Structure 1
Amino acid sequence: MYELWILIVGGLVGASCGIIGTYLVLRRMAMVADAISHTVLLGIVGAFLVSQTLEGPLMLLGALITGLLTAFFIQLLDSSGVQTDAAIGVVFTALFSLGVILVSVYARDVHLDTDHVLMGEISFVPFNTFEWNGMSLGPEAFWIISGVFILDLFLILLLYKELKISTFDPALAAALGLPVTLLHYIVMSMVSLTTVASFDSVGAILVVAMLIVPPAAAYLLTEKLSHMLILSAGIGVLSSTAGYYIAKALNVSISGSMASTAGLIFLLVFLFSPSHGVITRKIVQRRIVNDAA
């Protein structure tokens, strides 16, 4: 059961990050995922200073607020003429550094530290269980990530058409009267919630990998949004499952192995994708040349 819980939690992280990461990749905002996955540290330590506990909804609320602030400041600098990559860099480093300072000053005696946040340790997940009436109902991480995954899925299904139009053609969405700015912050809210729900177990490194790599691979495999969402979730689950067994065989970091496996899958797709693969296109070109000769 120990191994099964790790696989389940890893799969949920891969699936939830994959579906919401699809919109980040399509909106060309992939590095915002990196920024939010680090700046939510400020929200978590802020919530800890208020509540003096690392449990409860205040953690999610603090991370959500910080994630939205990150997106807001990036958008503000971008609209003011600062290049997007520079805006992300400025906001990312400023808020994350402030979080690190607060941790080092006010949270030295708790397990909230930068190594814990960045790397995580999914192998400890099965030990932190949710108890109800003296009965163990499985790891807390499972229930938290499951709830966020269901919420993400619900919002995507509810706002599928609106998110699709605003993602591919914001100008058309605005002309049709859709609340483009509100939809943008809904996506950022989902990214923030998914990030903080995931990285307590697996760390920010794996969260960033799952938010970007599976959707990037799915982008090379299909041109339909619905198919891309399914493929992103599937690649995320495959990466986490295969990564666990690779880590077990090699006795290495589980989260690191999962992220590396996602990168390996992307490399294979990049080389052999039916329509975009580098090697596939060369084979097709060679056949065309041979047929013409």
Structure 2
Amino acid sequence: MSDFVMLSLVPMTIAAITCLSCALLGNFLVLRRQSLIGDAISHVALPGIVASFLITGTLAASAMMIGAGVAALITVVMIELIKRLGQVEASAAMGVAFTAIFALGVLMLEWHGASGVHLDVEHALYGNLESLIWFEGLGWHSLFDRQALADLPPQLARVSWVALLVVVFLVVFRRALVIGSFDAEFATSIKARPAVVDLLLVVMVAITAIAAFEAAGSIIVIAMFICPAASARLLTNHLGQQIAWSQVLALISALLGYVLAGYGPGWFGLDMSLSAAGMIATLSGLILLLACLFGPYRQRDGAARA
């Protein structure tokens, strides 16, 4: 049991918190047909990481995450400008923005000769869950030891604060989010400021994704913004129930996916383990497939009820 506390408790907790917070926001992204925004933000991490290295000359994770964050926020603004000034649909604006900025990152690598430097960008893709070891976690009693708690991986505090911020955002702007998701024109008529709420939602998506990049990776982020909410949408036609279902499915994906990644191959006699991020995303995709095949609302086009 001490090995579980030291090796697995923190990674599983971070994975669960990340999946839950992404799924919360994902409900409104799915309803607004903006699911690809998470994918867009993950692609633009590269130029931010490169720019961070060129400015600071360090490969520190904190500097790279700040760079990725700035790039993500710039992309958010760029997507909104393309949508509103060019009068194009959201998916087209996202495609143009994240491919252009990702290409800029590749050019920056070549132009400044940084391509020969080992930029550890794979953590932004696959995450770093397996290495988040709590060395002072010698047993369950460590949860009540102040000195041991001080040695917790900093990623846990980061994703926890962001999850709390997501919950506060949804509570404060719930009415505007719900109205804007179903009828933007009505939201404008009652002065609910749907444009401002849209921008805040995308900014929250960017903040959540960036906080998860180092620990959980963009694979989990992309999957969790889409799969739990889309699966829940096929299981119910009520928004409150959809949000609840998305949380249950996100938690199942996080915990069961981590266990299957670590122990699943051993059950089949294989002396190996798999990527936790990859398994969590795969499991969430399988759950979505089952919802598509057997969900009671898979053939209905009606909007969800608030």
TM-score by length of 1: 0.83
Partner in structure 2 of residue 124 of structure 1: 131
Say if 1:277 and 1:226 are closer, same or farther in 2 by CA, change over 3 A: same
Deviates most, 30-39 or 80-89 = 80-89
Partner in structure 2 of residue 34 of structure 1: 39
Partner in structure 2 of residue 143 of structure 1: 157
Partner in structure 2 of residue 90 of structure 1: 96
Partner in structure 2 of residue 160 of structure 1: 174
Task: Please say if 1:184 is aligned against 2:198.
Answer: yes
Residues 236 and 296 in structure 2, CA contact (< 8 A), matched pair in contact too: no
Say if 1:142 and 1:192 are closer, same or farther in 2 by CA, change over 3 A: same
Say if 1:233 and 1:43 are closer, same or farther in 2 by CA, change over 3 A: farther
- Secondary structure (helix, strand or coil) at the match of 2:133 reads helix
Task: Please say if 1:12 is aligned against 2:34.
Answer: no
- Secondary structure (helix, strand or coil) at the match of 1:17 reads helix
Partner in structure 2 of residue 173 of structure 1: 187
Task: Please say if 1:257 is aligned against 2:279.
Answer: yes
Structure 1: state its 5+ residue gaps. Answer: 279-293
Say if 1:10 and 1:60 are closer, same or farther in 2 by CA, change over 3 A: same
**1:222 aligned to which of 220, 236, 246:** 236
Deviation string, structure 1 residues 181-222 (Cα, Å, up to 9, x no partner): 211111111111110111211221221011111110011112
Residues 49 and 64 in structure 2, CA contact (< 8 A), matched pair in contact too: yes
Partner in structure 2 of residue 287 of structure 1: none
Partner in structure 1 of residue 294 of structure 2: 272
Instruction: Work out the CA distance in 2 between the residues paired with 1:83 and 1:162.
Output: 21
Deviation string, structure 1 residues 149-192 (Cα, Å, up to 9, x no partner): 00000110111111111121111111111222211111111111
- Secondary structure (helix, strand or coil) at the match of 1:13 reads helix
Q: Percent of aligned positions with the same letter in both sequences?
A: 31
Instruction: Work out the CA distance in 1 between the residues paired with 2:65 and 2:168.
Output: 18
Structure 2: state its 5+ residue gaps. Answer: 137-145, 266-272, 301-306
Q: Which amino acid aligns with 2:125?
A: L
Instruction: Work out the CA distance in 2 between the residues paired with 1:141 and 1:108.
Output: 28
Q: Which amino acid aligns with 1:270?
A: C
Q: How many residue pairs align between the two structures?
A: 274
Deviation string, structure 1 residues 224-277 (Cα, Å, up to 9, x no partner): 222222222221111011111111222222111111100111122222223437
Instruction: Work out the CA distance in 2 between the residues paired with 1:128 and 1:108.
Output: 34
Q: Which amino acid aligns with 1:112?
A: D
Say if 1:117 and 1:153 are closer, same or farther in 2 by CA, change over 3 A: same
Q: CA deviation at 1:145?
A: 0.4
Say if 1:93 and 1:172 are closer, same or farther in 2 by CA, change over 3 A: same
**1:22 aligned to which of 21, 27, 42:** 27
Say if 1:137 and 1:224 are closer, same or farther in 2 by CA, change over 3 A: farther
Partner in structure 2 of residue 207 of structure 1: 221
Q: Which amino acid aligns with 1:86?
A: A
Instruction: Work out the CA distance in 2 between the residues paired with 1:81 and 1:52.
Output: 40
Deviates most, 73-82 or 133-142 = 133-142
Task: Please say if 1:99 is aligned against 2:82.
Answer: no
Q: CA deviation at 1:72?
A: 2.5
Q: CA deviation at 1:111?
A: 4.5
Structure whose residues are more often helix by fraction: 1
- Secondary structure (helix, strand or coil) at the match of 1:30 reads coil
Q: Which amino acid aligns with 1:95?
A: I
Q: Which amino acid aligns with 2:105?
A: G
Instruction: Work out the CA distance in 1 between the residues paired with 2:131 and 2:109.
Output: 22
